[in-house]
Amino acid sequence: MDLNIILGYFGALVIGVVLGLIGGGGSILTVPVLVYLFYINPVTATAYSLFIVGFSSLIGALQNIKKGLVDFRTALVFASPALLAVYATRKYLVPAIPQELFSVGDFLVTKNIAIMMFFAIIMLLASFSMILKKNENDNEDRELKYNYPLIILEGIFVGVLTGIVGAGGGFLIIPALVLLAKLPMKKAVATSLLIIAIKSLIGFIGDVENLEIDWLFLFRFTVISVIGIYIGTYFSNFIEGKKLKKGFGWFVLIMGIYIIYKELNH
């Protein structure tokens, strides 16, 4: 078996382990693993990522529902505009982007390069969020207040973003739930997983009609990621996720810079 394929499936396991350990962030590695190790076209890779991220998040969300940590009202308000936005983005916007966008001197910016560059920028933003985040003071008993217009707008924005890059967007959703819905941090993390699962899987449906899907490969990759989630969840009992988050943030930062370098030196 090709070394890159072995590394790719190992990457699938790592994605799951990171999700299980720190409750998010791992999905941002999915697209680079699919593009650079399995040589999958970026448009198809972002579609596969939606399914992998959606299914993995659903596993986490179901565990949190059992613990009573999911705020269904907030999830519904946020997920409704988000899932419509991500579906429309995958079904209509992404296919409408021309293969060749523009050139800078001799450098031709193609659709694939633009998607990977945009994805790298999202990785950089996510890394800063993980590196700079301070410990939140949680108040589990505080009264929940909802800023519906802003929650809906944020849902649309995150939906479009998810549709373009195929990442869950937890680093945008969690602050929105804390600031706009005034959710305690634990509930915000748990609720964000349900939102990510719904919008990612609905977004993927928009791709099924446009792309050739290798279901066997997708199933294999997803199963390995889910196994990783259970491994990560087990080890999270012994390792503090907050300490790991900063280290992982630095790794994501380096990966984002590497993608920009790689795409500019095609």
Which residue reads 């890159």 in tokens? 4
Its pTM stands at 0.78
Joined together, the tokens standing for residue 244 give 């790991």
Tens of pLDDT along the chain (266 residues) come to 688 899 999 999 988 887 777 766 666 788 889 998 999 998 899 889 889 988 988 888 888 898 888 889 888 888 888 888 888 888 888 888 899 988 888 888 898 888 889 888 888 887 887 788 765 555 555 555 667 788 888 888 888 888 887 676 776 777 778 777 778 877 887 888 888 888 888 888 888 878 889 999 999 999 999 998 888 878 877 776 666 777 778 888 888 898 899 888 86
The count of C-alpha atoms lying within 13 angstroms of the C-alpha of 24, restricted to the half-sphere facing its C-beta, is 27
pLDDT score for 139: 52
Question: What is the rounded CA–CA span in Å between residue 60 and residue 62?
Answer: 6
Question: What is the rounded CA–CA span in Å between residue 134 and residue 128?
Answer: 11
Which residue reads 């590196």 in tokens? 131
Question: What is the rounded CA–CA span in Å between residue 77 and residue 133?
Answer: 26
pLDDT score for 48: 92
Joined together, the tokens standing for residue 209 give 């009609």
Phi/psi of residue 24, nearest 5 degrees: 170, 175
Domain that holds residue 64: 3-264
Q: How many domains does the chain have?
A: 1
Q: How many residues does this entry show for the chain?
A: 266
Q: Helix (H, G, I), strand (E, B), or coil: what is residue 132?
A: helix
